[in-house]
Each structure stands twice: as C-alpha cells, then as structure tokens.
C-alpha cells in the first residue's frame, strides 16, 4: 500500500474512533435570554493598585471592561450594557433612583419588552437603598438584581466578575421570577426588602440571615423557597409616584439616636433643611427619650411624618397600641436606610399620616393587636 493511502486510512480510522471533536464554545445567542446591565459605578468598577482593598477609587472602569473580565458570559445571556454613571454609591441621590426605576420599568414592564431581567451594578454602601426602591416600584415579576463587589477589579482576587456573572444568570432565569428585587454578592441571593450590608470590608458583606432566599452553584441560581415576597412589602405605581415631580423624590432626613440625644436636630431638619419627613434610628427597638417626645410631636403636628427605626439589625421597631395620628410611626422590620426610601415614596404618593402609619405598622399592628 502506498504511504499516502495508509495515511488516509489511518486518519479515517482515527476520525471514526475518536469522540466528536472537542466542542467549539457554544454560541447560543439565539437561545439565551436578553439581559440589560445598568452600570452606575462603585467598587465593581473601581481601580487601584494590586494590594488595595481600601483606598482605591470607585467608579472608574467602564462597564464594558468589567463585563469583559467574565469568560463565556455570552453563553449565559445576550447582555446589553448601559453606562448610566460611574460614581461611588455614597454620591447617589434620589434622582438617580428615579432615573434607574424609569429605565428598568421601560426595559422590563412594557408590552414590547424583549428583556428577561435587569442587573444594576453599583457600590455596596447604598445597595440596600437602591434595591429596596426598585423592589417597591418595579412590579412585573421579572428579576431585578442589584449586584456590587467589595474589591476592585485590580485587586489580587476581585469578587466583581463572579458576582456579575451570578447576577446576569439570575436576571435571565425563570426561577428568579416573582421574588421582587434581589441583591447578589458572594454567591448569596438576598431579598431586597430585608437585606443590609453587614460588614464594611469583607467580601461576604451581605449576610443578613432573614434576607437570604437562595444562592449559586456553578454560578447558577437555586432558591430555598418557591417564589414569594415579604409579607410586609407594599408596592407603588411608578407613574403615580412621579406625577408630582418626575426627577426627584421628596426630601427625607435621617437622624441617629444615642445617649445625649439632641432634639434640636429634629427642628433643624424641618426649619433649615426643609425635610418633608424624618427617619430617626432610635436606640434599641426604636426607643425615643421621653424628653424628646414633645419636640417630635410638634413636628408631626406640622404634618411632617417622623418614622422611628430600630438600631439593631435584627428585630422590629414594634408599633405601640395607643399610637395616635399625632405621634411618631414605628418602622416595623424596615431598617432605617430603607425606611427613608419608603417614606420618600409614600410622600411622593401624597399619603396621609394615617396611610404612612399603615404602610409601616399595619401588618404588625393587626398581628399584635388585631387592629
């Protein structure tokens, strides 16, 4: 047999015996869901030197670069990115929340929507506020996922790429539907209604035990429960919320309780800062010193709602049975940062003092007092 013939036979035999050629990377863009990533900045877009896990600059890298750090992302979703801003999350203001809510609503909740879900990237410092606002305002059952990172992309082992891959996969998933807005970091899925940042430095920063509803394996989501949402959650219609002012939410100020509580801060919030509502993080389960009650009641009498949240992460600021429309409101399980968002939304919707009390206290009041 001539050499060429032997070679040809051998090649044919090898081809027949060999398993199918190593799979070329699956290009499934026609099958994968469409997911939009709205980037606002934060550590996930941060940049520093290799050893900086603090002191780096947040909100530097474009989202296209951040997405580019994730191999094979296109096998999970057809991702479109929007660079809304590139700032640290402590610099976000209510007009950002209004803009983002409008964008998410247009992308997900219109009849012509072709997007399965939306991911918002931002800094962890105010993640719980953005997620809570979107939880209340976006109500078409598609996944809305807020993700972030604790280390910038320039660190030795950045957490951003994995978090973003988790978040995109969840946003495109069927199992992610009907669960309200969610926060994703470090392979955890947390309910926006209950979550809190629990650690200022560690990658496992969002570990609020009452908020955990699922996790990720192989960057794919699983849930501990069938689709459900917080018993205490109330929703707001976006158009109604923006009827009065379609660029910003009413101003609510926040005061932190302690020994030597200074009640002049409450007066100043109304007089000098023009707050339309006040949230006080009271000590303990939302305790207010008796010497400050008259001042608070005088502010409430002017039509300025005062909502008092608990200081510890766990437990409720429980309503009082004898509360009248002339006294402050307890925030229930809603923590101070999120109570501020809830109050802004209630004020934008022209809620009366009684409606605001019902928003925060209603469900616990009926559980506790049968009212």
Ligand X SMILES: *[C@@H]1O[C@H](CO)[C@@H](O)[C@H](O)[C@H]1NC(C)=O
Q: Which residue ranges make up the site for ligand X (CB under 6 A)?
A: 29-30, 33-34, 78, 80, 114, 240, 243-245, 247-248, 349-350
- Residue number with CB closer to ligand X (250 or 332): 250
Catalytic residue among 10, 36, 40, 43: 43
Is residue 43 exposed (0-12), middle (13-18) or buried (19+ Cβ within 10 Å)?
buried
Smallest separation (angstroms) from ligand X to the CB of 142? 12
If the CB atoms of residues 174 and 293 are measured against ligand X, the closer one turns out to be: 174
114 is in an annotated binding site: no
Choose among 219, 330, 229: nearest CA to 285: 330
Closest separation between CB of residue 350 and ligand X, Å? Answer: 4
Please name which of 94, 115, 121, 148 lies closest in space to residue 34, comparing C-alpha atoms: 115
CA 339 to chain centre: 14
Whether 43 is catalytic is yes
Nearer to ligand X among residue 94 and residue 149 (C-beta): 94
Sign, Cα dihedral of 55, 61, 67, 71: negative
Kind and range of the H or E element at 83? strand 78-87
Q: Which is nearer to ligand X, 88 or 252 (CB)?
A: 252
Shortest gap between Cβ of 250 and ligand X (angstroms)? 8
User: Which residue lies nearer to ligand X by CB, 30 or 322?
Assistant: 30
78-87 sheet: strands from edge to edge? 78-87, 34-41, 117-121, 144-147, 181-185, 188-191, 212-217, 220-223
The Cα-based distances of 20 to 14, 15, 17 in angstroms read 11, 9, 9
Q: Is 125 a known ligand-binding residue?
A: yes
Q: Which residues pair with 279 in a beta bridge?
A: 254, 307
* Residues paired with 81 in a beta bridge: 37
∠ Cα 247 251 254 (to 5°): 140
In angstroms, give the least distance from the CB of 358 to ligand X. Answer: 17
Can you tell me whether residue 170 is helix, strand or coil?
helix
- Map 268-316 to HEC letters: HHHHCCCCCEEEEECECCCECCHHHHHHHHHHHHCCCCEEEECCCCCCC
116 vs 183 by CB, closer to ligand X: 116
- CB of residue 334 to ligand X, shortest distance in Å: 21
DSSP string, 213-240: EEEEETTEEEESSSS---TT-----HHH
CB of 216 to ligand X, least distance (A): 21
State the minimum distance, in angstroms, from the CB of residue 114 to ligand X: 4
* 11 among annotated binding-site residues: no
What does the alpha-carbon distance between residue 121 and residue 28 come to, in Å, rounded to a whole number?
A: 25
Nearest to 281 by CA among 254, 316, 320, 305: 254
Report d(CA 333, CA 351) in Å as an integer. 20
Residue 254 to residue 270: CA distance in whole angstroms: 11
Nearer to ligand X, 174 or 240 (CB): 240
* Residues annotated in a binding site for substrate: 89, 124-125
Catalytic center residues: 43
* Residues annotated in a binding site: 89, 124-125
């Amino acid at each position: 047999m001539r050499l060429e013939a032997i070679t040809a036979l051998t090649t044919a035999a090898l081809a027949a015996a060999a398993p199918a050629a190593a799979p070329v990377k699956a290009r499934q863009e026609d099958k994968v869901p469409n997911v939009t990533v709205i980037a606002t900045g934060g550590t996930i877009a941060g940049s520093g030197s290799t050893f900086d896990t603090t002191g780096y600059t947040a909100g530097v890298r474009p989202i296209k670069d951040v997405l580019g750090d994730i191999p094979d992302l296109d096998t999970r979703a057809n991702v479109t990115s929007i660079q809304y801003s590139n700032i640290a999350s402590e610099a976000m203001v209510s007009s950002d929340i209004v803009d983002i809510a409008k964008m998410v609503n247009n992308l997900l909740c219109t009849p012509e929507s072709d997007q399965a879900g939306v991911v918002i990237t931002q800094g962890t410092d105010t993640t719980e506020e953005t997620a809570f606002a979107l939880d209340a305002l976006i109500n078409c059952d598609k996944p809305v996922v807020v993700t972030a990172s604790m280390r910038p992309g320039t660190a030795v082992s950045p957490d951003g790429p994995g978090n973003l891959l988790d978040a995109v996969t969840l946003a495109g998933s069927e199992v992610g539907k009907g669960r309200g807005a969610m926060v994703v970091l470090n392979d955890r899925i947390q309910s926006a209604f209950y979550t809190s940042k629990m650690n200022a430095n560690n990658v496992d920063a969002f570990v609020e035990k009452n908020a955990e509803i699922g996790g990720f394996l192989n960057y794919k989501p699983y849930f501990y429960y069938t689709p459900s949402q917080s018993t205490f959650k109330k929703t707001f219609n976006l158009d109604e919320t923006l009827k009065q002012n379609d660029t910003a939410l009413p101003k609510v100020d926040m005061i932190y309780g302690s020994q030597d509580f200074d009640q002049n801060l409450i007066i100043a919030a109304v007089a000098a800062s023009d707050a339309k509502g006040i949230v006080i993080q009271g000590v303990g389960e939302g305790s207010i010193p008796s010497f400050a009650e008259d001042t608070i009641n005088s502010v409430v009498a002017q039509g300025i709602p005062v909502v008092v949240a608990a200081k510890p992460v766990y437990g409720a600021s429980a309503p009082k049975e004898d509360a009248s429309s002339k006294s402050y409101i307890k925030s229930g399980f809603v923590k101070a940062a999120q109570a501020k968002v809830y109050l802004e939304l209630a004020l934008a919707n022209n809620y009366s003092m009684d409606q605001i009390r019902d928003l925060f206290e209603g469900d616990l009041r009926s559980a506790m007092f049968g009212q």
